[in-house]
Amino acid sequence: MEKLIPFNRKILFYIAYISLSCLITVLLNIVHTVFILEIDFTAISFTFPLIAGFIFGTMLAHIKILSKKLGQLAYTDSLTKIYNRLHFAHFLDAEIDKVKRYGGRFSIIFFDLDHFKDVNDRYGHLVGDGVLEEVTEIVSKANRSADIFARYGGEEFIILTPETGIEGAMTHAERLRKDIEKHSFTNAGHVTSSFGVAEFDPEKDDLESLLDRADKALYIAKEDGRNRVEQA
């Protein structure tokens, strides 16, 4: 989990908090000693608050980093570092509300990797994890900046495509299918994927029905031979 916060940024956090804490404690001690207690300021009266500031700053920086880690863990997938299923649902809820209130359109693309269990059984789970990470990179590069990409669970992924109808979403899904198919995965060779695509219907859909329609389209893609894109 250390990759959640890069090492260099962690060092900067510590330096910043420790420096600020030392500065504040020393200044407060000078004010308290010289101007309030009216005692001569000595090296000892400077050293003790400096040490206290160092300890306090270190603790504060550590708490800040832990808090940031917990925040990231709440909405990202630990392996792929993209959004997790729970956080994706928040984006989907917000997009549904926006379209119902103000109009517009959007679609979702639901996909998973074909015969992924065979990859894990044949090469091991570490290789399987590597495949998931590489798929994440492939899809992330092809997605638009507005697209919301998440790991739905296991080898399943989902994409929210704002301001996109079924035709655009199908085109995008087909491109992703081809990109995954032609990619040579490290230690696993070639892997294919199947897609289910659905456009949100503000008159009939809610979150559950939209996901269900995309899931059924994905199931049809699996039943019809895999490595294909199906429309809900």
Domain termination site, one of 45, 75, 105? 75
Determine contact, residues 87/75, Cβ cutoff 8 Å: yes
State the pLDDT at residue 34: 57
Whether 203 and 126 map to the same domain: the answer is yes
The predicted pLDDT at position 16 comes to 73
Confidence of residue 2 (pLDDT cuts 50, 70, 90): very low
70-92 pLDDT, tens digit per residue, is 666 678 998 999 999 999 999 99
Please say which residue of 28, 52, 75 terminates a domain: 75
Domain final residue pick, 75, 98, 114: 75
The reply to whether 67 and 136 lie within a common domain is no
Digit-coded pLDDT (tens) for 33-73: 656 655 565 666 556 666 666 666 667 666 666 666 666 66
In a shared domain, residues 67 and 181? no
Q: Looking at the domain assignment, is residue 80 inside a domain? A: no
Closest alpha carbon to 93 in 168, 200, 230, 166:
200
Is 144 within a domain? yes
Q: Burial code of 48-70, b = ≥16 C-beta within 10 A, e = fewer?
A: ebbeebeebbeebbeeebeeeee
155 is catalytic: yes
Q: Provide φ and ψ at 187, rounded to 5°.
A: 70, 0
Residues in contact with 143: Cβ distance below 8 Å, sequence separation at least 6, in sequence order: 149, 159
Q: Which domain holds residue 22?
A: 2-75
**Which of 95, 134, 155, 230 is labelled catalytic?**
155
Please indicate, yes or no, whether residues 93 and 206 belong to a single structural domain of this protein: yes
Give the C-alpha distances (Å, rounded to integers) separating 4 from 56, 69, 77, 100, 152: 24, 7, 10, 36, 19
- Overall pTM > 0.85: no
Q: Are residues 93 and 69 in the same domain?
A: no
Which tokens is 188 given?
A: 């696993």
Indicate whether 128 and 183 sit together in one domain: yes
Closest CA to 50 of 5, 94, 20: 20
pLDDT tens digits for 204-230? Answer: 999 999 999 999 999 999 999 999 999
- Residue for token pair 């899931």: 215
Task: Tell me the backbone φ, ψ of residue 189, rounded to 5 degrees.
Answer: 70, -135
Whether residues 68 and 172 share a domain: the answer is: no
User: Domain check: are 161 and 131 in the same one?
Assistant: yes
> What's the number of domains the chain is made of?
2
